[in-house]
Structure 1
Amino acid sequence: MSAMSLIRLLVLAALWGASFLFMRIAANPLGPVVLIEVRVAFAAITLLLVSIYLKNTLKFTDNFKHFFILGLFNSALPFLLFAYSAQFLTVSTLAILNSTAPIWAAIIGAVLSKKMFTKRVSMGLVLGSIGVSVLVGMEGLRIGESAVFPITCALMAALCYGIASNYAKNAPQVKAYDNAHGSMWASVIIIMPLLPFFPVRESFTFDVLTAVMLLGVFCTGLAYLLYFRLIAELGAPSALTVTFLIPIFGILWGHLFLDEVIGLNTLIGSILVITGIMFVTGFSPAAAFKKRILKNG
Structure 2
Amino acid sequence: MRPVDLFRLFVLAAIWGGSFLFMRVTVPVLGAVPTAFGRVALAAAGLLVLVSIMRVRWNFNGLFKQTVFLGLINSGIPFLMFAFAAQVLPAGYSAILNATVPLMAIVIGSTFFGERVGGIKLAGVALGLAGVAILTGAGPLALTPVVLAGVGACLIATACYGFAGFLTRRWITQRGGLDSRLVALGSQTGAVFFMGACLVWQLVTTPVAMPVVNANVWLALLALGLVCTSFAYILYFQLLSDIGPMKAMMVTFLIPVFGVLWGWLLLDEKLSLAHAIGGGLVAVAIWLVAKPERPRITA
Normalised-by-shorter TM-score class: 0.7 to 0.9
Segments of 5+ residues of structure 1 without an aligned counterpart are 289-297
Query: 1:62, CA displacement in angstroms?
Result: 4.1
Q: How much does 1:23 deviate? A: 0.8
Q: Does 1:216 align with 2:215?
A: no
TM-score (norm 2): 0.77
- Amino acid across the alignment from 1:142: L
Contact (CA 8 Å) 2:78, 2:156: kept in 1 or not? Answer: yes
Shift of 1:32: 1.1
Structure 2 residue corresponding to 1:225, chosen from 218, 221, 234: 234
Report the residue type matching 1:180 in the other structure.
A
Given residue 155 of structure 2, which amino acid in structure 1 is its aligned partner? L
- List aligned pairs for 1:70-219, cutoff 5 A: 70-113=70-113, 118-124=118-124, 126-127=126-127, 141-145=140-144, 146-172=146-172, 173=175, 174-175=177-178, 176-196=180-200, 197=202, 202-219=211-228
Q: Secondary structure at the match of 2:261?
A: helix
* Cα-to-partner distance string for 1:57-100 (whole Å, 9 max, x where unaligned): 44579434312321111000001111111122222222232122
- 1:116 CA displacement: 7.5
Aligned-residue offset at 1:209: 0.5
| Matched residue type, 2:141 | R
CA shift, 1:240, in A, is 5.5
Q: Is the 8 Å Cα contact of residues 73 and 161 (structure 1) preserved in structure 2?
A: yes
Preserved CA contact (<8 Å) 2:42 2:225:
yes
Summarize the Cα distance change of 1:261–1:137 in structure 2 as closer, same or farther, 3 Å threshold. closer
Does the CA-based 8 Å contact 2:250-2:286 persist in structure 1?
A: no
Deviation digits for residues 195-215 of structure 1, max 9, x if unmatched? 131557623321110100011
Partner of 1:65: 65
2:258 corresponds to: 249
User: How many positions carry a matched residue from both structures?
Assistant: 282
TM-score relative to the length of structure 1 = 0.77
Tell me the C-alpha RMSD between the 2 structures: 3.7
Assess, with a 3 A threshold, how the Cα gap between structure 1 residues 200 and 125 changes in structure 2: closer, same or farther: farther
SS at match of 2:40: helix
User: Residues 125 and 200 from structure 1, CA distance in 2 versus in 1: closer, same or farther, beyond 3 angstroms?
Assistant: farther
- Letter of the structure 1 residue corresponding to residue 164 of structure 2: A
Per-residue deviation, 1:6: 6.3
8 A Cα contact 1:76 1:190, kept in partner: yes
* Residue type of the alignment partner of 2:223: L
Residues 165 and 4 (structure 1), Cα distance of their counterparts in 2 relative to 1, 3 Å cut: closer
- Structure 2 unaligned runs (5+)? 294-299
User: Hey, what does 1:283 align to over in structure 2?
Assistant: 290
Contact kept, 8 Å, 2:101 with 2:249, in 1: the verdict is no
